[in-house]
Amino acid sequence: MNSNIKFCSRYILLCATLWPLLFMSCEQKTAETFEIRGVYGNPKPFWDKGFSLTELGVNAIFVHSGSINHDMVNRARSEGVMVYAEFATLNGKNYVETHPEAWAINEKGKKVQAASWFMGVCPTEPGFRQYRFGQLQDLLLEYDLDGIWMDYVHWHAQFEEPEPILPETCFCDHCLDVFSKDSGIEIPDGITSDKAQWILNNQDESWRNWRCKVIYDWTYEIKSIIKEIRPKALLGLYHCPWDDQEFNGARRRILGLDYNLLKETIDVFSPMVYHGRMGREPDWVKENIRWFSNRLNIKKDSYPKVWPIVQAYNNPGVISNEEFEIVLKGGLAGESSGVMMFTTSAIAEDKGKTEVMKKVYTNLTEESDN
């Protein structure tokens, strides 16, 4: 009996030693697995309601660069929250109107019209490139940011609709000259519409490849600027979530998004899986992130990473609390190591959605679909 008592005592002592380590291991694994519990938008709506970001489980904010100020950054830092700036890269609204040389031209030789609410710009126009790169430099010099998230990174089009708008662009003189020079292809003389038709009929593959390289070059230049000013800051990308086949391969063919190129420069991909906006079912988010993880061979413990952005905003229709929880958890599927939602106002104004976010963010466990 004496030996049994000694064995039990040692067993109890061993359990007392190992159980805390076991729980610590689980907590560390969860923290390592899910790095980002983010929100998109100015966090002021939460603060106005008396919340701290940490009590909601939030550890990162993603804010439009024009809305960032020092008070916001300082308060977020005081709550232990990371700050990332959304950078509206190829949005030409309010620029092309006063700089017509940067207006995208379609295959008919005409200026493009706004695609739904989005107005693109010619990505090769030198003046616009200088303008955007200067804005980025100013932003990085002014604020100590954890990263820059490029947005509107595609040729003029609109993918955030059930029926997307997919024009052929850009056939301005500058694009045609640069394409000819870069590819070594001589374009026959003629009016713009004739040149465009000749390219689409005779050099379509070269044209698509070149357009993808133009987009890639934007990511390369922006990453170079970031690393020069804020070497530790990440480069993220908000992007169209379509797979390789959807809309006849339009993600690459029209938007110019080639994952094989972009994974060389992008640290974190943020697929814009707005199920309501795109007329999809909530479960599509999980399916898409699983597909994306496999497509890019994403691994949680290495770069590039995937932190999707999901829809909470009630437009079109109403995103219910149940839907929101499904898409928020769906954003953590596959090899995702973080998630965020659009927008802070949509959450703060809805008590139910606030509770859903708090529950998911403060109780992230291995039951999330990895």
Question: What is residue 67's DSSP assignment?
Answer: G
Q: Report whether pLDDT(265) > 80.
A: yes
Angle between helix axes 204-229 and 192-202 (nearest 10 degrees) is 100
Structural domain contains residue 141: yes
Instruction: Give me the pLDDT at residue 359, please.
Output: 96
Q: How many angstroms separate the CA atoms of 47 and 31, rounded?
A: 25
Query: How crowded is residue 359: how many other Cβ atoms within 10 Å of its Cβ?
Result: 13
Structural domain contains residue 5: no
Structural domain contains residue 22: no
Confidence of residue 8 (pLDDT cuts 50, 70, 90): very low
pLDDT digits (tens, 9 = 90+) for 137-192: 999 999 999 999 999 999 999 999 999 999 999 999 999 999 999 999 999 999 99
Look at strands 234-239 and 60-64 and give their pairing: unpaired
Q: Work out how many domains the chain is built from and give that number.
A: 1
Two tokens at 145? 């940011």
Instruction: Give me the pLDDT at residue 21, please.
Output: 34
pLDDT digits (tens, 9 = 90+) for 77-101: 999 999 999 999 999 999 999 999 9
pLDDT digits (tens, 9 = 90+) for 51-81: 999 999 999 999 999 999 999 999 999 999 9
Structural domain contains residue 330: yes
How confident is the model over 234-261, as a mean pLDDT? 98
What are the strands, taking DSSP E only, across the chain? 36-40, 60-64, 82-88, 147-151, 234-239, 268-273, 305-306, 309-311, 338-342
Q: Report whether pLDDT(236) > 70.
A: yes
Q: Report whether pLDDT(318) > 70.
A: yes
CATH number at residue 107: 3.20.20.80
Query: Which of 261, 262, 338, 265 is CA-nearest to residue 301?
Result: 338
Confidence of residue 248 (pLDDT cuts 50, 70, 90): very high
Question: What is residue 165's DSSP assignment?
Answer: B
Question: What is residue 331's DSSP assignment?
Answer: T
H/E segment holding residue 217: helix 204-229
Query: How crowded is residue 253: how many other Cβ atoms within 10 Å of its Cβ?
Result: 17
Q: Report whether pLDDT(12) > 60.
A: no
How confident is the model over 242-269, as a mean pLDDT? 98
Structural domain contains residue 10: no
Structural domain contains residue 16: no
Q: What's the chain's average pLDDT?
A: 91
Count of CA atoms in the C-beta half-sphere (13 A) of 126? 4
Structural domain contains residue 367: no
Instruction: Give me the pLDDT at residue 343, please.
Output: 97
Reading phi first (left if > 0) and then psi (alpha if -120 to 50, else beta), residue 366 is in: alpha
Confidence of residue 26 (pLDDT cuts 50, 70, 90): very low
Structural domain contains residue 349: yes
What are the strands, taking DSSP E only, across 199-319? 234-239, 268-273, 305-306, 309-311
Domain residue limits at 289: 34-362
Q: Report whether pLDDT(295) > 70.
A: yes
Confidence of residue 360 (pLDDT cuts 50, 70, 90): very high
Tokens 């932190």 — which residue?
Answer: 307
Instruction: Give me the pLDDT at residue 33, please.
Output: 60
pTM recorded for the entire structure = 0.89
Q: Report whether pLDDT(25) > 70.
A: no
Confidence of residue 364 (pLDDT cuts 50, 70, 90): confident
